Structure formats: C-alpha cells, structure tokens
C-alpha cells in the first residue's frame, strides 16, 4: 500500500513544490530575521507577511526519536514498527522535520547524530523529504 501523499495548502505549496524537485527549502521572515517551519501565511512571531522560501543545506541532526507501534494513520500501519524522528536543520533550531530515518535501526544511532536529507518518491513525481544518519 502506498504511503500518504502530502496535501499542500496555499502556504505550504512552495515547500512541497520544491520537494518534488528534490530541493529542501524553509520559510524565512524578514521582519524578525528567522526561519519558520511549517510554512504559514504570516510569521507566527511578528505577524509579518514579508516571507520568502530559502534553500537549506539539507544537513541537520537527530533531536529526538521514538518507535511507532500503533499509528492511527491507516496507510502507515503496514510499515509498523517504524521510527519517527525529529531532526533539527543546521540553519536554524526553528526548523524541525519529521522523518523515518531510512536505513537506521534503533540502538545504532544517537541523539545528536548528523543527518542529511534525501527524497522519497511516494507517488510518481511526488517526493517527501526524509533524513538519513550520516557519519561526518
């Protein structure tokens, strides 16, 4: 069974369009000079609308993780158990992504391990960012 496909809205569409081109971007607010993710129509901190999408390096680190055994997301149930990790992007502690850490096994990586983005094709031409633990 295929995995769920993202359902972009007006604010998040540029992020998913970039992912479909295998580019990782994040929204940046010029009003308070910081990133925000996930994207929103306005900056959650200053309310400003002067936002742009900037390319990210795709590098980050594992911030936290757990193993999912009982997801309510029906399309993900056949993949159980699977890892759900939060990774923090190198550009900003405000940019977190959820990932399954493809290629990783619990016990063989640690909080703080470096990761790099890769893109998983969940439908033809539709990609989601994933992050893989790397050795630097």
Residue 29 lies near Zn ion (rule: CB under 5 A):
yes
CB 28 within 8 A of CB 136: no
What residues between 63 and 92 interact with Zn ion by CB under 5 A? none
**Contact call for residue 4 and Zn ion (CB under 5 A):** no
Minimum distance from residue 6 beta carbon to Zn ion (Å):
24
Distance of closest approach, residue 30 Cβ to Zn ion, in angstroms: 8
Exposure string of 34-52, with b = 16+ CB inside 10 Å and e = fewer, is: bbbbebeeebeeeeeeebe
# residues contacting Zn ion (CB under 5 A) = 7
Maximum separation of any 2 CA atoms in the chain, in Å? 44
By beta-carbon proximity to Zn ion, the closer residue of 29 and 62 is 29
Interaction between residue 48 and Zn ion (CB under 5 A): yes
Alpha carbon distance 77, 68 (integer Å): 9
- Out of 3, 20, 46, 92, which residue is the one contacting Zn ion (CB under 5 A)? 46
Q: Does 94 bind Zn ion (CB under 5 A)?
A: no
Which of 3, 14, 32, 90 forms a contact with Zn ion (CB under 5 A)? Answer: 32
Q: How far apart are CA 59 and CA 115, in angstroms?
A: 6
Question: Are the CB atoms for 122 and 5 separated by under 8 Å?
Answer: yes
Binding site for Zn ion (CB under 5 A): 29, 31-32, 43, 45-46, 48
């Amino acid at each position: 069974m295929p995995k769920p496909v993202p359902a972009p809205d007006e604010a998040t569409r540029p992020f998913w369009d970039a992912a479909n081109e295998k580019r990782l971007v994040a929204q940046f607010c010029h009003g308070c000079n910081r990133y925000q993710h996930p994207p929103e129509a306005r900056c959650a901190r200053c309310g400003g609308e002067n936002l742009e999408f900037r390319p990210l390096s795709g590098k980050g680190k594992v911030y936290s993780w757990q193993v999912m055994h009982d997801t309510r997301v029906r399309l993900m149930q056949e993949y159980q158990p699977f890892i759900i990790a939060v990774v923090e992007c190198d550009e900003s502690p405000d940019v977190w992504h959820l990932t399954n850490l493809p290629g990783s096994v619990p016990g063989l990586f640690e909080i703080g391990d470096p990761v790099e983005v890769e893109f998983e094709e969940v439908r033809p031409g539709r990609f989601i960012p994933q992050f893989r633990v790397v050795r630097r």
